[in-house]
Amino acid sequence: MIVEMRVYHCLPGRLPALQDRFRNTTLALFAQYGIEPLGFWTTLIGPSNHSLTYLLKWDSLADRETRWGAFQADTTWIAKRTASEADQPIVERIENSFLTPTDFSALR
């Protein structure tokens, strides 16, 4: 198992638009492609309160490449993402890390 941590740094004032896009579009497409989120968080205290952090569970890097590639190429996703950013971009930048559990981790 691999966990991917993704951090979306939004432009000021655009975090609500990103959250709406996840609620109304992204999560359904994740389910369609078998992408398993472990949780989503906003930053309460930290360098910026314009960020959304979430974790995705993958069987392997190959599994991630297959599923993520299919999701990114989905025509519905492309159209909805484009429409949600028609007035103004939402995300300034994205960071991601791939984490592997230790032998003493509860999640393995």
* pLDDT of 3 over the 90 cut: yes
Residue 107 has a pLDDT of 74
DSSP state string for 16-80 = HHHHHHIIIIIHHHHHHTT-EEEEEEE-SSSS-SSEEEEEEEES-HHHHHHHHHHHHH-HHHHHH
| Arithmetic mean of pLDDT over the chain | 96
Q: What does the angle CA 13 – CA 15 – CA 16 come to, to the nearest 5 degrees? A: 95
Q: How confident is the model at residue 105 (pLDDT cuts 50, 70, 90)?
A: confident
* Mean pLDDT in residue range 35-56: 96
* Mean pLDDT in residue range 28-54: 96
**97 - beta bridge partners?**
5
